[in-house]
């Protein structure tokens, strides 16, 4: 019956079935009308991106009309080049793009359900190091998600047809009509048109957003989800690739061999200085104690001891500092990375970046951070913060810092909604419940990061316990209320530690992360004497409380030793008797029996204080225009009096940048190991 040759049989095949005929017919039309398949692809992708947004359903982030326009623009930009290809190549490219995007969005959905974040290039490159999804993967899957792949039922067989029969079908179609010069022109024209339309829809709308409500989005760069909210799914991934390439390929810090060894010598000398302090009787006086450290959101020193409406703002802390070593000359050292900078400066004793956040940009680089050091010395190490784990890239960074577990928002029951998420009182209570379940055989390190006293400090009336007098209705008034609440929550935390029998065997440390961002100086009138003095303003903004309650209550009282967040980890290691002479850190211990350490507290903008002088650089960056103050009376000195230390501060910032951006520690440690082997005579 089928008396045809083998070859003829193959040629006739497309017309044998209904699908075969349909496929061949569609291919001919896709060939004739260049843009039909492209339009279908665009519609399908925009729908998938919309569906993706509903799967994520990030709070307060619903897809608006503008978002759909931005997504359409992004799809056009992503795929416009396919219009330059001949029909078969274009179809295969569009199908491949569809598959890649569908898998990317699907992976994002799964990753989001676990980490409340989107996948980034560093995460993809270091999948093994990120906290694994463990056995929970099945709970993250939903049959509903497969709508992302619904079109594949038609597209995949079609792709097989295009690969297998496409060339011949197109040849037939072409021989049936005249080939002309119109075709290549149509390709170029439609490609350019798609690019132009895509660019307008995407860039113009994105620009509008970043010029208005999303100002500074890409500079601050603090949360992938915010970037997604503005730039869309494709925009976010495009930006992420750009961000990765910029940091790792185009803007990578190149440090010459000479600079490397100069930096190594410089930082090792700091280790030697700490090593020399280790003969101090306080070194190791609290060896084996647990450590519980709290980073309090926006808590500033000018709150300590202050009252309003006849009540103390921080009664708990005021009492606690009487039985703790309290540093009232302590500075936060944060820059654009805000909370993440405070965390990094404190835990890893390195300077933050001039722009951006180490947590986001250099999470994969090696640092000597407190959790890892303590774990190497037999401790457990856990970090607690009741917000989305993707914020400030914490999921990734905390994995690299070697914490056993990061307890983020999803680990807490939202039984006290306050401020951004969970109120401090419930946060501390639930964190202590986790701590109570620890392995009692090893000492613990717990790092708790509070959140309620976060900008804009609005608390419901029922939680406002102070009479803030003339500050009622101002941001300062709200700030005082939220600090008062945070203080009361700390009181409950301390009571709980006592009830759990932890107060006598735990070093309790506490510090404020950064300033309150309140810049209206008239609101500070009742807290500082001279609100117009640049030095008073600087010190008010930069000073945060730091206290250490030792298990036996020793070293209690206020101390005016100047220090900063970079000194926190060296201080704790000193008390625990863990040598930091071979650790790569910039800070010095603050609490030593004989405190004669010369310390320079350097800010990211180049300002510094050594306790006696305070230097503020000028906006134009010229050293001669900087202001050199005498701390004692605020008088201005000749800039030359500050010159040597200004150079020292600049050196510290430069060395820190080389290490942080150039990831120099692995090489230093290797050299150190070689040195140690050589000294012990091994070959
Ligand atoms: C959110 C919190 C706030 O997780 O850490 O960060 P901030 O805005 O203060 O940098
Ligand atoms: Mn903060």
Average pLDDT of the residues in 577-601: 90
Residue 462's Cβ-side half-sphere holds a number of Cα atoms within 13 Å equal to: 3
Per residue in 395-408, pLDDT (tens digit) is 999 999 999 999 99
Residue 183 CA to residue 162 CA, distance in Å, equals 20
Is any ligand 1 atom within 6 A of the Cβ of residue 158?
no
Q: Which of 87-96, 454-463, 618-627 has the lowest mean pLDDT?
A: 618-627
What residues form DSSP beta bridges with 338? none
Is any ligand 1 atom within 6 A of the Cβ of residue 394?
no
Q: Which residue has the higher pLDDT, 599 or 173?
A: 599
Residue 22 CA to residue 383 CA, distance in Å, equals 59
Per residue in 601-617, pLDDT (tens digit) is 999 999 999 999 999 99
Q: Which of 56-60, 156-160, 360-364 has the lowest mean pLDDT?
A: 56-60
Q: Which helix (H) or strand (E) segment is 376 a member of?
A: helix 370-376
Per residue in 434-458, pLDDT (tens digit) is 999 998 899 999 999 999 999 999 9
Per residue in 255-272, pLDDT (tens digit) is 899 999 999 999 999 999
Residue 599 CA to residue 610 CA, distance in Å, equals 6
Separation of 93 CA from ligand 1 center, angstroms?
42
Q: Which residue matches tokens 């060894």? A: 261
Average pLDDT of the residues in 40-55: 94
**Does residue 113 carry a pLDDT above 90?**
no
Is any ligand 1 atom within 6 A of the Cβ of residue 584?
no
Residue 383 CA to residue 404 CA, distance in Å, equals 8
Nearest CA to ligand 1 atom 9: 339
Confidence of residue 680 (pLDDT cuts 50, 70, 90): low
Do the beta carbons of residue 363 and residue 400 sit within 8 Å? yes
* Ligand closest to CA 514: 2
Separation of 222 CA from ligand 1 center, angstroms?
9
Is any ligand 1 atom within 6 A of the Cβ of residue 391?
yes
Q: Which of 180-184, 347-351, 575-579 has the lowest mean pLDDT?
A: 180-184
Residue 342 CA to residue 347 CA, distance in Å, equals 8
Distance from the first to the final alpha carbon of the chain: 84
For residue 127, the 8-state DSSP code is: G
Q: Which residue has the higher pLDDT, 130 or 668?
A: 668
- DSSP state string for 622-674: -GGGSEEEETTT-PEEPTHHHHHHHHHHHHHHHHHHHHHHHT-HHHHHHHHHH
Q: Which of 180-184, 539-543, 675-679 has the lowest mean pLDDT?
A: 675-679
Nearest CA to ligand 1 atom 6: 339
User: What integer pLDDT is reported at residue 676 of this predicted model?
Assistant: 60
CA distances from 62 to 71, 234, 574 (A): 13, 16, 50
Closest CA to 34 of 251, 193, 154: 193
Q: Which of 69-73, 517-521, 592-596 has the lowest mean pLDDT?
A: 592-596
User: What integer pLDDT is reported at residue 132 of this predicted model?
Assistant: 52
How many CB atoms sit inside 10 A of residue 100's CB?
11
- The proportion of the chain whose per-residue pLDDT surpasses 70, expressed as a percent, equals 92
Q: Where are the alpha helices (DSSP H) in 459-592?
A: 475-499, 534-542, 568-576
Per residue in 285-318, pLDDT (tens digit) is 999 999 999 999 999 999 999 999 999 999 999 9
**Does residue 5 carry a pLDDT above 50?**
no
User: Which of 109-123, 200-214, 400-414 is predicted most confidently?
Assistant: 400-414
User: What integer pLDDT is reported at residue 160 of this predicted model?
Assistant: 86
Enumerate domains of the chain plus CATH numbers. 13-221 (no CATH), 280-587 (3.40.720.10)
Nearest CA to ligand 1 atom 7: 339
Confidence of residue 672 (pLDDT cuts 50, 70, 90): confident
Residue 316 CA to residue 425 CA, distance in Å, equals 14
Atom of ligand 1 nearest to the CA of 339: 10
Is any ligand 1 atom within 6 A of the Cβ of residue 53?
no
**Does residue 412 carry a pLDDT above 60?**
yes
Beta strands in 351-464 (DSSP E): 380-384, 405-407, 417-418, 421-422, 444-449
Q: Which of 107-116, 399-408, 541-550 has the lowest mean pLDDT?
A: 107-116
Q: Which residue has the higher pLDDT, 227 or 178?
A: 227
Nearest CA to ligand 1 atom 4: 387
Separation of 232 CA from ligand 2 center, angstroms?
26
Separation of 338 CA from ligand 1 center, angstroms?
7
Do the beta carbons of residue 453 and residue 485 sit within 8 Å? yes
User: What integer pLDDT is reported at residue 127 of this predicted model?
Assistant: 57
**Does residue 142 carry a pLDDT above 90?**
no
**Does residue 168 carry a pLDDT above 90?**
no
CA distances from 413 to 136, 262, 295, 342, 482 (A): 19, 50, 21, 26, 21
Q: Which of 37-46, 54-63, 593-602 has the lowest mean pLDDT?
A: 54-63
User: What integer pLDDT is reported at residue 139 of this predicted model?
Assistant: 73
Atom of ligand 1 nearest to the CA of 449: 5
Q: Which residue has the higher pLDDT, 226 or 481?
A: 481
Average pLDDT of the residues in 373-389: 97
User: What integer pLDDT is reported at residue 131 of this predicted model?
Assistant: 52
User: What integer pLDDT is reported at residue 324 of this predicted model?
Assistant: 98
The environment of the single-atom ion ligand 2, i.e. residues with CB closer than 5 A, is 297, 339, 513
Atom of ligand 1 nearest to the CA of 394: 4
**Does residue 675 carry a pLDDT above 70?**
no
User: What integer pLDDT is reported at residue 677 of this predicted model?
Assistant: 60
Separation of 665 CA from ligand 1 center, angstroms?
28
Confidence of residue 343 (pLDDT cuts 50, 70, 90): very high
Q: What is the mean pLDDT of the chain?
A: 90
Atom of ligand 1 nearest to the CA of 454: 9
Measured in degrees and rounded to the nearest 5, phi and psi for residue 636 equal: -85, 130
**Does residue 665 carry a pLDDT above 70?**
yes
What b/e string do you get for 561-582 counting C-beta neighbours within 10 Å, with b at 16 or more?
bbbbbbbbbbbbbbbbbbbbeb
**Does residue 12 carry a pLDDT above 70?**
no
**Does residue 571 carry a pLDDT above 60?**
yes
């Amino acid at each position: 019956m089928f008396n045809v040759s083998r070859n003829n049989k193959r040629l006739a095949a497309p017309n044998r079935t209904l699908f075969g005929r349909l496929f061949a017919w569609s291919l001919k039309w896709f060939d004739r009308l260049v843009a039909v398949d492209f339009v279908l692809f665009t519609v399908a992708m925009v729908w998938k991106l919309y569906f993706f947004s509903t799967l994520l359903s990030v709070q307060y982030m619903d897809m608006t009309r503008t978002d759909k326009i931005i997504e359409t623009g992004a799809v056009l930009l992503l795929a416009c080049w396919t219009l330059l290809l001949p029909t078969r190549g274009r179809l295969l490219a569009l199908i491949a793009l569809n598959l890649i995007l569908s898998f990317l969005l699907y992976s994002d959905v799964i990753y989001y359900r676990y980490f409340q974040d989107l996948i980034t290039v560093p995460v993809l490159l270091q999948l093994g190091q990120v906290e694994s999804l463990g056995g929970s993967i099945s709970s993250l899957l939903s049959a509903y998600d497969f709508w992302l792949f619904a079109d594949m039922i038609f597209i995949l067989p079609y792709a097989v047809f295009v690969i297998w029969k496409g060339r011949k079908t197109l040849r037939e179609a072409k021989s049936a009509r005249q080939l002309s010069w119109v075709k290549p022109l149509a390709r170029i024209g439609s490609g350019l048109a798609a690019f132009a339309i895509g660019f307008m829809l995407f860039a113009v709308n994105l620009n509008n957003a970043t010029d208005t409500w999303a100002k500074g989005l890409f500079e601050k760069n603090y949360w992938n989800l915010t970037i997604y909210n503005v730039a869309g799914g494709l925009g976010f991934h495009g930006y992420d690739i750009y961000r990765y390439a910029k940091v790792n390929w185009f803007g990578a810090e190149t440090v010459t061999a000479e600079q490397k060894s100069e930096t190594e010598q410089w930082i090792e000398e700091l280790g030697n200085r700490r090593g020399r302090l280790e003969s101090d009787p306080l070194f190791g006086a609290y060896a084996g104690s647990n450590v519980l450290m709290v980073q309090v959101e926006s808590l500033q020193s000018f709150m300590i001891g202050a009252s309003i409406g006849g009540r103390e703002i921080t009664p708990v802390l005021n009492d606690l500092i009487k039985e703790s070593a309290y540093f009232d000359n302590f500075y936060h050292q944060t820059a654009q990375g805000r909370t993440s900078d405070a965390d990094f400066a404190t835990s890893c004793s390195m300077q933050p970046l001039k722009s951006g956040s180490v947590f986001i940009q250099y999470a994969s680089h090696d640092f000597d951070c407190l959790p890892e050091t303590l774990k190497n010395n037999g401790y457990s190490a856990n970090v607690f913060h009741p917000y989305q784990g993707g914020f400030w890239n914490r999921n990734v960074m905390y994995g690299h810092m070697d914490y056993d577990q990061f307890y983020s928002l999803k680990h807490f029951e939202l039984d006290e909604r306050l401020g951004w998420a969970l109120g401090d009182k419930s946060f501390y209570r639930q964190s202590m419940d986790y701590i109570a379940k620890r392995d009692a055989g090893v000492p613990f390190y717990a790092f708790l990061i509070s959140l309620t006293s976060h900008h804009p400090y609005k608390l419901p009336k029922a939680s406002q316990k102070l009479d803030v007098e003339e500050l009622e209705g101002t941001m300062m008034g709200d700030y005082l209320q939220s600090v008062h609440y945070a203080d009361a929550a700390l009181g409950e935390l301390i009571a709980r530690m006592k009830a759990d029998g932890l107060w006598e065997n735990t070093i309790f440390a506490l510090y404020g992360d950064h300033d309150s961002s309140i810049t209206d100086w008239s609101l500070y009138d009742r807290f500082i004497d001279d609100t117009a003095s640049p030095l008073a303003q600087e010190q008010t903004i930069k000073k945060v409380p730091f206290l250490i309650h030792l298990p036996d209550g020793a070293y209690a009282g206020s101390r005016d030793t100047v220090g900063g967040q970079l000194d926190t980890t060296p201080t704790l290691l000193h008390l625990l008797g863990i040598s930091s002479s071979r650790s790569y850190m910039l800070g010095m211990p603050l609490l030593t029996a004989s405190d004669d350490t010369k310390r320079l507290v350097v800010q990211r903008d180049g300002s510094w204080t050594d306790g006696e002088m305070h230097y503020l650089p000028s906006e134009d960056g010229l050293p001669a225009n900087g202001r050199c103050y005498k701390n004692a009376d605020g008088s201005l000195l000749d800039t030359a009096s500050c010159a040597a230390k200004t150079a020292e501060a600049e050196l510290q910032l430069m060395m820190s940048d080389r290490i942080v951006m150039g990831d120099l520690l692995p090489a230093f440690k290797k050299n150190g190991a070689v040195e140690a082997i050589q000294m012990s005579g091994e070959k």
